[in-house]
Structure formats: C-alpha cells, structure tokens
C-alpha cells in the first residue's frame, strides 16, 4: 500500500475509533464492519457507472423537472449534498450543481429557500439553526413560515465542542474551560493572534451560527478572560494544528462527522474539553440575539470517556448538544413534492460511511469533481440502500 493511502486509512481508523466511543459499545460491531467494508473499497477500485438496472428508464419520475438545491459553505457538508443530488438525478430530475453559485452560509440559505430561489438543502444543524427561522420578511411573515424540517439524515449525530492541546492539558491538569478562564497562568498562555492583548479561543466564521452560539456561551458563563475568535475556519484550524504539533496551548471549536478529528485526533493530539455544568448555556439569550433562545444547550453530549475528553465535575461535558443534521425545504415545494419528502425521510446514510467519505475528501484535491466521484462511489457501494430510497419516491409519486 502506498504511503498516502496508508495515511488515509490510518486517519479513517482514528475517525472510526472516535465514532465508536461516541456511539457506545453497541456501535462497536457496526464500526468494525464499516472499517472492513471501507478497506475493501480501498483495495478494490470501483467502476460501477453501468450499475443501473435495465428497467431504470421506467423509474424516471422526475424527467423534465428541475430542482435547485443549495449547499453549505463548509466542506464537511459537500458529500452528503452531492449524494442527494445524484439520487435525484437517477430519478430523472435536472439538478444543477450547487457548487455553481448556490453555496451559502446558513442565513442566506434559509432566506433563499423561504423566497423560493432554492428548494432545499441538506446542511441544517438544529436546534441552533432555528434562529434563522425567526427573521422577518417584508410581507410580515417569518422565514420559518415558508420552511419545513425533514426527518432523516443524521439525527443526534452532530457531536461538537472544544478541542484542547492534549500535552498542555496533561501537564497543567486542565479539566474545564472554566478552570482556564479563572487562572491567569492558563488563559495567559493562549494565543493572541490579533495582538489586542486578549487570549483567544478559535471558534467559527461569523456566518456559521456556531460563532453566535459560542459568543452567547462565553457571555452566559462569564468567560471574561478569553475571547472567542471568529475567522476563516480552515485557517484557524491550520494554526491550531501547528500549535498542537509544537505542544503549545490552544483551543478550537470543531464537530463530527468531519475529517478535522482525524487531523487533530482526540486521545492522541487533543482532548475534547469539558465545561462546568453551571456554565451550560440556557435559553436566557444573554446577548439579545434574534432567536438567541435557540442557542440553549440543555442536554450536552457527555459520551466520551477519559481517554478522549477532560473530566470535569460530572465527567465529560462538551457543553454542546449533539445536533440534528437535517434537510430543510421550501414549504410550497415540499407540498408539491410529497414523494420526495417521503424519500428524504428514509435517506439515513451511515454516519460512519459519511465520515469515511469526508476523510477521503480531505485527502483529495479539494475539487468539486472529487466530491462528485466520492459521492458516486458511495452510491455504487450502497446500491441496494440507494435503490430502496428511490423506490420510496416512486411508490409515493402521484404523477
């Protein structure tokens, strides 16, 4: 096996180990089976362009109809969006590539769906994204009046939180973000990239929603000695990796499923950082943001053991809920296409499979053609499952 491919699969195995830890012991066999399947895919190049059944034309219920989907402006959402696009194309729909002018931040995505400029996207993170539903339109309605949430995809799967340099946490005995905020020797060791004298925690770009949630968290918990930095995520993550590699103090927000946790591996390079239970953000909306009550994190993810997560007063407490990653659609479009909504509700690809795809994407050339290839290979490797999704649309199609 070539060195590059070997590194890729080591990264995948790291991601699988983390997913097994997050999902609990019941997921161990699933993860192991997925690892075996993934390795088989790696060893056996797939060429399934002709895998469609001979009677496929009879199932082209979307022939002559156009769909305009959007996708998020974060790379970890690209593959799932492309899978949906290709499944719709197999049903005969004309679906433009959202990479060509329809890649949006959440605020714009929900606006364009409410306006009918786009029909759906696969990149909602709830409950945090509900804040965008509260925006008022010129006709007196809200954005949310024109949208529907669609079940399926990755429910309770968007594990998120803070990563901290493992060597620093071990050496300093760090257990919580609260401890860092309260100790000048600890918060003073964090980077100050803009030179304003304020130690920083890397968060998100200012249009991703997680940036607003983080700001509200810091205000509610009175983390006055550290500043949540908003900037381009990949640039912040690259700086974080450099600091971790040098055993320097650093903290960053991240999430799964994504390839980021295969570059900064919990339990090896970093830990998930706990927060004190008293600092959990409630629905009081401390910054007065429109819809800010939706930022509350009443049921944070606590499933990581001491190997992966610092142990606060109640063990691991990431401070963030595991989000529902779902499809959102324009309400009128959904009412006109109930067969597609029925199909979307059945489309629940394995989080493990998508994580593997994201690791492969991160190791690729960052092109849309690579995203298209990875999605095509997923569909080919899961043909029976994909066909069952399509059959749901066909069975519910009224013509």
Tell me the H-state helices in the chain.
Answer: 3-23, 28-43, 78-90, 106-115, 166-172, 177-182, 184-187, 210-221, 233-245, 260-263, 331-336, 338-346, 351-362, 368-381, 383-395
Q: Does 329 lie in the same domain as 304?
A: no
| Residue 170: CATH number of its domain | 3.40.190.100
- Cross-strand pairs, 124: 326
Q: Does 281 lie in the same domain as 204?
A: yes
Whole-model pTM? Answer: 0.84
- For residue 375, give its domain range: 56-156+325-395
Q: Nearest to residue 203, comparing CAs of 222, 327, 155, 193?
A: 193
Q: Does 312 lie in the same domain as 169?
A: yes
Residue with tokens 């190791």: 363
Q: What is the pLDDT of residue 14?
A: 57
Q: What is the pLDDT of residue 194?
A: 86
Tell me, yes or no, whether 166 lies in a domain. yes
Q: Does 67 lie in the same domain as 85?
A: yes
Find out whether 70 and 112 touch, Cβ atoms under 8 Å: yes
Q: Are strands 120-126 and 200-202 parallel, antiparallel or unpaired?
A: unpaired
Q: What is the pLDDT of residue 10?
A: 52
Q: What is the pLDDT of residue 20?
A: 57
Q: Does 189 lie in the same domain as 149?
A: no
Q: What is the pLDDT of residue 357?
A: 92
Q: Does 357 lie in the same domain as 299?
A: no
As for how many domains the chain has, the answer is 3
Q: Nearest to residue 278, comparing CAs of 205, 179, 200?
A: 179
Both structure tokens of 311: 């142990």
Please, which residues have CB within 8 angstroms of residue 223's CB and are 6 or more apart in sequence?
177, 178, 181, 217, 279
pLDDT per position as a tens digit, 156-212: 889 999 999 999 999 999 999 999 999 999 999 999 998 999 999 999 999 899 999
Chain Cα centroid distance, residue 122: 10
Please, which residues have CB within 8 angstroms of residue 183's CB and are 6 or more apart in sequence?
none
The CA R_g of the chain, rounded to the nearest whole Å, is: 22
Q: Does 289 lie in the same domain as 220?
A: yes
pLDDT per position as a tens digit, 21-61: 565 544 444 444 444 544 444 444 344 444 444 444 447 99
Q: Which of 269, 287, 321 is the last residue of a domain?
A: 321
Find out whether 285 and 293 touch, Cβ atoms under 8 Å: yes
256-266 burial, b if ≥16 CB within 10 A, otherwise e? bbbbbbbbbbb
Tell me, yes or no, whether 49 lies in a domain. no
For CA atoms 90, 92, 93, 95, the dihedral sign is positive
Tell me, yes or no, whether 48 lies in a domain. no
Q: Does 257 lie in the same domain as 188?
A: yes
Q: Does 317 lie in the same domain as 206?
A: yes
DSSP string, 302-337: ----TTTB--BBTB---SSPPEEEEEEEEHHHHHH-
Q: Does 315 lie in the same domain as 374?
A: no
Q: In the chain, which stretches have pLDDT less than 70?
A: 1-58
Find out whether 87 and 347 touch, Cβ atoms under 8 Å: yes
Q: Give the C-alpha separation, 389 to 347, whole Å.
A: 6
Tell me, yes or no, whether 51 lies in a domain. no
Instruction: Please tell me what DSSP assigns to residue 69.
Output: B
Q: Does 112 lie in the same domain as 97?
A: yes
Q: Does 275 lie in the same domain as 187?
A: yes
Both structure tokens of 385: 């499952």
Q: What is the pLDDT of residue 18?
A: 61
Tell me, yes or no, whether 104 lies in a domain. yes
- Cross-strand pairs, 201: 228
| Residue 145: CATH number of its domain | 3.40.190.10
Q: Nearest to residue 386, comparing CAs of 396, 376, 395, 372?
A: 376
């Amino acid at each position: 096996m070539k060195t590059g491919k070997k590194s890729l699969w080591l990264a995948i195995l790291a991601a699988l180990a983390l997913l097994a830890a997050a999902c609990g012991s019941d997921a161990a066999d699933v993860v192991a089976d997925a690892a075996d399947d993934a390795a088989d895919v790696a060893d056996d190049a797939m060429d399934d362009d002709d895998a469609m059944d001979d009677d496929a034309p009879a199932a082209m219920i979307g022939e002559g109809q156009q769909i305009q989907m959007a996708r998020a402006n974060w790379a970890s959402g690209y593959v799932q969006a492309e899978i949906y696009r290709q499944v719709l194309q197999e049903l005969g729909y004309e679906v433009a590539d959202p990479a060509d002018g329809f890649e949006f931040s959440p605020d714009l995505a929900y606006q364009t769906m409410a306006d009918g400029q786009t029909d759906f996207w696969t990149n909602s993170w709830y409950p945090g994204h509900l804040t965008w539903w509260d925006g008022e339109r010129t006709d007196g309605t809200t954005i949310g009046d024109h949208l529907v949430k669609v079940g399926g995809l990755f429910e309770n799967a968007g594990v998120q939180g803070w990563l901290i340099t493992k060597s620093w946490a071990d050496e300093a005995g760090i257990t919580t973000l609260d401890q860092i905020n309260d100790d000048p020797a600890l918060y003073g060791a964090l980077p100050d990239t803009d030179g304003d004298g304020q130690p920083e925690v890397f968060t998100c770009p200012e249009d991703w929603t997680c940036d607003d949630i983080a700001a509200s968290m810091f205000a509610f918990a009175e983390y006055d000695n550290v500043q949540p930095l908003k900037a381009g995520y990949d640039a912040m993550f690259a700086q974080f990796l450099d600091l971790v590699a040098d055993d320097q103090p650093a903290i960053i927000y991240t999430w799964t499923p994504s390839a980021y946790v295969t570059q900064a591996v919990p339990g090896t390079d970093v830990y998930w950082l706990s927060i004190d239970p008293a600092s959990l953000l409630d629905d009081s909306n401390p910054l007065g943001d429109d819809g800010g009550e939706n930022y509350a994190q009443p049921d944070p993810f606590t499933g990581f053991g001491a190997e992966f997560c610092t142990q606060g007063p109640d063990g691991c407490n990431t401070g963030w809920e595991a989000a529902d990653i779902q499809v959102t659609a324009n309400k009128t479009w959904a009412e006109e296409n109930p067969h597609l909504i029925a199909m979307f509700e059945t489309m629940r690809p394995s989080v493990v499979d998508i994580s593997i795809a994201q690791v492969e994407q991160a190791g690729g050339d960052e092109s849309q053609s690579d995203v298209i290839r990875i999605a095509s290979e997923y569909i080919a490797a899961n043909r029976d499952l994909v066909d069952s999704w399509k059959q749901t649309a066909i069975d519910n199609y009224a013509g």
